[in-house]
Structure formats: structure tokens, C-alpha cells
Amino acid sequence: NIEELHKAWMREQSRIVTLTQQRNSLLNQLSVYHKQILVMKQKQLKTEFEIDRLKKEETNIQHLVSSLEKRLTGLNLQCSERKGYKENLNNLNLAAQNQLICDLKDAEVKALTLQEDMCYLEIEKEELRGEIVQAQRDLLAWERKLQMATEVKQNIDKSKAEGGEIAVMKSEIHRMEVRYAQLQKVQEKLAHDMEMCISRRDGIVELAQAREKRSTKRALYTRQQFLKKLDDLQTKIKQTNSELKSVDKTYNSSDDHMHELTDRKQYKRNQLSELQGAVSQMQAQLAEGQLHRQKNLEMLVRKQRKARQYGELKAGRYSLQFRQESVLELETQKQKAVNSDLVSIVESINTDFPILATPITQILNTLRSPAA
């Protein structure tokens, strides 16, 4: 019996262990179920919150759909109204496309024309470069001529200065003029003395005749005395005549020398005038050459600028200020009128101030040159 009880107790113990294990497993399952219930409740709360949110979104979507339906209705009305606009826009688009094609063809033609103009400008540039080189050569030649003329003028100025040939000639002419004045005074004095001698001779003759009438005794003595005095007077007259001849000879030689000096002086003056005229002519030609050079240089610069603008226009870097021919023609006429007014003003200034002829002529050349 004890063994049976022991076996029964063992069975009960094993059963208790089994039940305990089952209880523990059930408790674990129960805790798991509780956790699952909590998770499901949280999911339920989230689901309810999501449902509420979706309901709100559904309401908003319904409102949005209703507004979109209204807008769709309005758009349908607008589409029905603008069906004719589409055809008009298509027609306008086609016309604009055709216009753009025509403009593109015109631009291509203009580009070809600009290329030809650039070729012509390059040729003109080379020609102008050759002209500038020739003008520079001419300018150097005129500068050499001007230097030679300046040296000649300096030599003439040196000859005019103290110690020069012309100064010596002037001093010699002055000395001869002084000598000529002295000789004229001597000649006048001799003529006066001769007149006095003649008057004294006449007086002596009259006195002798009177005395001869008064006294016949002293006639011989008076006649001899008279003849002696007459011989003395004739001797003095001969001396005076010889002196007059020498004075005339000296005067004639001085006069010839003075005429020679005057001729030489006049020749030198004429030569100086010719040289001054040549220098003035060279200076005028030099100024004209400089003006021509400045004009050619300015034309070259303008054509280079024009060629550069054509290149920028061809490359698309240059934007046209005037795209319509009428506006461009109006602006051109306006600029021509302004240029004409400026030319008139500068010409009046040139008339009032002739001393500034060279710079004013440069300005006139700039204003009258063809537009770049």
C-alpha cells in the first residue's frame, strides 16, 4: 500500500508539476494576450484617429472636389469660349513664324552685305595705309625742306645781325650818306664863295671904273692892281672849280658806290623776300599735309571702328539701337541738321579768328567727313 501511495503521490506530484507548468504557460499566454490587447487598443486608437483624420481629409477632398468641379465647369466654359482664340493664335503664330523666317532671310542678306562691306573696308584700309605711308614720306620730305629753309633763314638773320654782311652794308651806306651830306654842304659853301667872289669882282670893276673916271694919274696903278686882283680871283676860281670837280668826282663815285650798295641791299631784300615766301609756302604745304594726314588717319580710325562694329553685329554682341527704317532715317536727319549747325558755327569762328585756322580746319574736316 505504501508503494501504491508513493506511486500515487509521485503521480500527483508529476501532475502538480504538469499543472503548474500549464498554469505558468497559461499565465504567460494571458500576459501575452494582455499585451496584445493593449497593442490592439493602441492600434484601435490610432485607427480611430486615422479614421477621423481620413474623414476630415475626405470632407476637405469633397470640398476641394466641389470647388474643382466648379472650376472645371468654369474652365469648360472658358475653353468653349476660347476655342476660336486658339485658331486665331495659331494663325498669329504662323504669321509670326513666317515674319521671323523673312527677317532671318533679310538678316542673312544683310550679313552677306556686311561681309562684302568688310572686305571693301579691308581693301580701303590697305589703300589708306599706303596713303598714310606716302603722306608720312611727303611729310618727312617737307620737314627736311622746312629745316633747310629754317637754316637759310637763320643764316640770313645772322647776316642781318651785328658784324654780318648786311649790317656792314648798312653801316657803309650810312657812312656814304653822311659823306654825301658833307660834300653837299661843301659844294653849297663853294657855290656861295663863288657867288661872293663874282659879286666882289663886279664891285671891284665898278669901283675901278669910278676911280678911273675920278683920277687919270693913278690909272695905270689902279689897272695893274685890278689886273692882279683879277688874276688872283681867276686863280681862286680855278682852284674852286678844281675843288668842285674833285668834289663832283668824289660825289659821283660815292653816288655810284651808294647805288651799288643800294642795289645789293635791294637784291638781298628780294632774296630774303623770296626765301621768306618759300618758307611760308613750305609751312603752308606742311600744314596742308598735316591736315590731310589727320583727315586720312581719322577716316582710317572710323572705318576700323565700323568694321569692328560689323564684326560685333555679325557675332551677335552688338544690339541695334534703331530697328525700324523710319526711326533710323528720322534720327539720321536730326544728326545731319545738328552737324550742319556745328559746321556753320565753326566756319563763323574761323572767319572771326583766322589765327586759329589750322585747328579749326581740323575740326571742319572732322565734321565734314562721311559718317562712320
Give per-residue burial for 46-76: e unless 16+ CB within 10 Å, then b: eeeeeeeeeeeeeeeeeeeeeeeeeeeeeee
Task: Confirm whether 29 is domain-assigned.
Answer: no
Task: Confirm whether 364 is domain-assigned.
Answer: yes
Distance from C-alpha of 311 to C-alpha of 115, rounded to nearest angstrom: 9
Domain that holds residue 353: 332-371
Task: Confirm whether 360 is domain-assigned.
Answer: yes
Task: Confirm whether 342 is domain-assigned.
Answer: yes
Task: Confirm whether 357 is domain-assigned.
Answer: yes
Note the pLDDT of residue 315.
77
pTM to 2 decimals? Answer: 0.34
Please tell me the number of Cα atoms within 13 Å of 81 on its side-chain side: 6
Task: Confirm whether 358 is domain-assigned.
Answer: yes
Q: CA separation (Å) from 371 to 117, 280, 295, 354, 368?
A: 15, 34, 13, 27, 9
Task: Confirm whether 353 is domain-assigned.
Answer: yes
Task: Confirm whether 345 is domain-assigned.
Answer: yes
Distance from C-alpha of 128 to C-alpha of 120, rounded to nearest angstrom: 12
Note the pLDDT of residue 372.
42
What's the average pLDDT block by block, 10 residues per block, for the chain (372 residues)? 79 86 87 87 87 87 84 78 69 75 75 75 76 74 74 67 59 72 74 71 65 55 60 69 69 68 72 71 74 76 78 73 76 85 86 80 77 48
Among residues 255, 323, 298, the alpha carbon closest in space to that of 128 is found at 298
Contacts of 294 (CB under 8 A, 6+ apart): 362, 365
Burial of 326 (0-12, 13-18, 19+ CB in 10 A): exposed
Question: What total of structural domains would you count in the chain?
Answer: 1
